[in-house]
Amino acid sequence: MPFKETSTTTLTFSLSNINLPFCSHQLRVCTSITKSLFGLYCSVLYLTKMSSDLQKSCFLFSAPATDSQCASRPLDLVFIIDSSRSVRPIEFEKVKIFLVDMVDTLDIGPDATRVAVVNYASTVKIEFLLKDHLDKVKIKQAINRIEPLAAGTMTGLAIKKAMDEAFTEKSGARSRSKNISKVAIIVTDGRPQDQVEQVSAAARASGIEIYAVGVDRADMRSLRLMASNPLDDHVFYVETYGVIEKLTSKFRETLCGLDRCGMGHDCEHICVSNVSSYYCQCRNGYILNEDKRTCSLKSKNCVEVIEDPCKCEARLAFQKQTQASLQDLTAKHILLASLCSSCNYVNTFISTLIPR
C-alpha cells in the first residue's frame, strides 16, 4: 500500500486485488487532505479468508487532537447492542460504525474513558471488558470483530449482565472514590422479550446512567422504562440504522466537557454547568427562589437552611431572642418595683418627722 507524503498527505491505495463490497461500508479513502485541517489517516489492513468468504478487516485510524474530538470527561462506558434476528447483517455493520465513530469522539485511555461492549440476542455475550483495550486502535479492532448472535431480544438480561459483570472493578471499572461516571448506551430495534423496568431501576440505583437508542420498530415505552431521567436527554429514536451515525454528534454534546452555561441560560446570578444541563446559584447574601432561577435578598431574621430559610432553625432563633428580651424586661421590672417600694418607705419615714 504505497503512499506519497508531500505538504499535503496523499494516500494512494493499491486495490486491484481487493473485493471492495466487503469493506466499502467502512473504507474511507483520504486523498490530498491536509493533516492540519482534518488530521485523518486512512489505512486498509488486510482481508482474510474465513469459511470460504472474505471477512473484512478495515477500520479508520484517527490522528490525535482533531476538531472532531473533544475533551470528554472520564467515563466507564459500556455499549449494549442488540444483534437479534430482526437486525440484518448490513444493519449490524451500521451499529458497529456508530460505535467506532463514538470511540473517535472520546478521550480513550487508562485515566480517561474506558470502553466495553455487551452483545445480546437470546443470549448475552460480553465482547470485551473495560480493562481489555485502553487505546482507540485496539478498541476499534475489537469492535470490528464482533459478530451478530441472532435469535431473540433479551434486553433485561443484557442490562443485568452489564451491571453485574461489566461495571465491576474486577472488569476494569474505576472505584466509587474516583467519582468516574458509569454510562450505558443501549441500542435496540425491537421490543424486549423479558422485563426491563426493575433491572433498569436497579442499574440506575447502582449509579449507572442509561441512554436508550431505539431504531425503526423499537418499543418507545420500553426505551423510557430503561433510560435515566430526564428522559428527553436520555431517549433517542432514529427511523433506520442508515442514519444512526447522526446520533454521534448528539452524544458528543452530551458526553463531552461542553460549557452548558456558555450555550445560554436564564439564571439571574450564577450559572453552574453539569453533565447534560445547568443549574442556578445565588451570590452571597441571597437565596434561590422557588423558580430555581431568580434570587431574593436573604432575610436578617432567618437562619440560612438548605430548603426553607424560615423553618425550624429560624423559629428557634426567634424564640431564643424573645426569651432573652422577656428576661431583660422582667429584670428591669423587678428593679423598678424594688425602687418604688423603697420610695414609699422613705416617704412614710419623712412624713413622721414633719410636725403637723
Please answer whether residues 99 and 136 qualify as being in contact, where contact means their C-beta atoms are separated by less than 8 angstroms.
Answer: no
If DSSP codes are grouped into helix, strand and coil, which group holds residue 240? Answer: coil
User: How many domains, the chain?
Assistant: 3
DSSP 163-205: IIIITSGGGTPPPGGGT-EEEEEEEESS--SS--HHHHHHHHH
Q: Are residues 91 and 53 in the same domain?
A: no
Could you tell me if 67 and 36 are in contact, meaning their C-beta atoms sit under 8 angstroms apart?
no
Together in a domain, 218 and 78: yes
Q: Check whether residue 146 and residue 291 sit in a common domain.
A: no
Contact 226, 159 (CB under 8 A): yes
Assigned domain for 95 exists:
yes
Task: Output the pLDDT for position 355.
Answer: 61
At 219, which CATH number?
3.40.50.410
Residue matched to cell numbers 489492513: 45
Residue 248 lies in a domain: yes
Q: Is the pLDDT of residue 342 over 70?
A: no
- Res 134 pLDDT > 90: yes
pLDDT tens for each residue of 100-128: 999 998 999 999 999 999 999 999 999 99
In a domain, 342, yes or no: no
204 and 104 inside one domain: yes
More confident residue, 77 or 5: 77
Residue pair 186/211 in contact (Cβ under 8 Å)? The answer is: yes
What CATH number has the domain bearing residue 299? 2.10.25.10
How far is the C-alpha of 175 from the C-alpha of 81, rounded, in Å? Answer: 25
40 and 104 assigned to the same domain: no
Judged by DSSP in three states, 131 sits in coil
Provide the mean pLDDT of the chain.
Answer: 76
Comparing 170 with 300, the larger pLDDT belongs to 170
pLDDT at 245: 84
Q: Looking at the structure, do residues 89 and 163 belong to the same domain, yes or no?
A: yes
Instruction: Give dist(CA 115, CA 107) in Å, integer.
Output: 11
Question: What was the pLDDT predicted at 312?
Answer: 58
Look up the domain containing 187 and give its range: 69-255
Range of 91-95, 241-245, 276-280, 344-348 with top mean pLDDT:
91-95
**Same domain assignment for residues 42 and 125:** no
Same structural domain for residues 164 and 112?
Answer: yes
Do 134 and 214 lie in one domain? The reply is yes
